[in-house]
Amino acid sequence: MAQINPSILSADFARLAEEAKAVEGADWLHVDVMDNHFVPNLTLGVPIVEALSKATDTPLDCHLMIEDADRWAPSYVEAGAGSVTFHAEAAAAPVRLAREIRAKGARASMALKPATPIEPYEDLLPELDMLLIMTVEPGFGGQAFLDIMLPKIRRTRELISKHGLELWLQVDGGVSAATIERCAEAGADVFVAGSAVYGAADPAAAVRDLRGLADVATAAAPWACDH
Ligand code: DX5
Ligand code: ZN
């Protein structure tokens, strides 16, 4: 079944505990950490992740848009994140970092900005629990989905099948009722949605609707035939 991860970047930061409760039933809560260096925006860090992990039962999917990921990512596992995503462009030693995240007890994930190809990372995929393909330039919520990323999603799904990996394939940026089916058809199985969930009158219903659309599109997708 498709996993839907609401992004709290589009939530009310003054009411994070309530905003987390508003999407109970979501698979993970997506937490965007930005340092104003890797991306031109500043959001939150370890103390807020720690507080949020105590305030909700939904596991936290931390997306680190920060420089020097090697140094900081392990702290997010200690803060309570169940999954930690670092950017390939910001990690000096991605294999060592993924192993460290796993050893500390979280799922290890790596993200690719739109201009970063998947092919150089083919041999690293077994070290990861999830691969995140950005479908906008990271930094802000509410941007338009980049259709030009669909071929990369397809190629990544092919690599996952070729190597028989249990790797989740996440998409993040501009995912909505209008775009989620294209992502699922191309091979994504974990969907981050910020404005499409928190901009809706009923965020929990938006999560269910997105999951429904993704499940139907996945069932019809060639890549999922043998699932
Ligand atoms: C963007 C963040 C996304 C953002 C998505 O850099 O990584 O997680 O919250 O927001 P929407 O779904 O509105 O594009
Ligand atoms: Zn994100």
Ligand 1 contacts CB of residue 61 (under 6 A):
no
pLDDT at 227: 52
> pLDDT tens digits for 152-163?
999 999 999 999
Give the chain's mean pLDDT. 98
Please state the domain count of the chain. 1
Ligand 1 contacts CB of residue 142 (under 6 A):
yes
Closest ligand 1 atom to Cα of 193: 12
> What percent of the chain has a predicted confidence (pLDDT) above 70?
99
Which of 28, 195, 197 maximizes ligand 1 atoms within 8 Å of its Cβ, making it the mutation to test the pocket?
195
Give the mean pLDDT of 52-70.
Answer: 98
pTM check: above 0.85 = yes
Phi-psi region of 184 (alpha: psi -120 to 50; beta: other; left: phi over 0): alpha
Residue nearest to atom 6 of ligand 1 (CA): 138
Residue 87: its H or E element: strand 83-87
> pLDDT tens digits for 92-130?
999 999 999 999 999 999 999 999 999 999 999 999 999
> pLDDT tens digits for 15-54?
999 999 999 999 999 999 999 999 999 999 999 999 999 9
Q: How far apart are CA 70 and CA 90, in angstroms?
A: 8
| Contact (Cβ atoms closer than 8 angstroms) between residue 20 and residue 60 | no
pLDDT at 225: 77
Confidence of residue 226 (pLDDT cuts 50, 70, 90): low
> What percent of the chain has a predicted confidence (pLDDT) above 90?
99
For residue 223, is pLDDT > 60? yes
Ligand 1 contacts CB of residue 175 (under 6 A):
yes
Q: How far apart are CA 135 and CA 86, in angstroms?
A: 16
Closest ligand 1 atom to Cα of 175: 12
For residue 133, is pLDDT > 60? yes
What is the CA angle 169-61-212, rounded to 5? 55
Its domain, for residue 107, covers 3-225
Residue 44 sits in a domain whose CATH number is 3.20.20.70
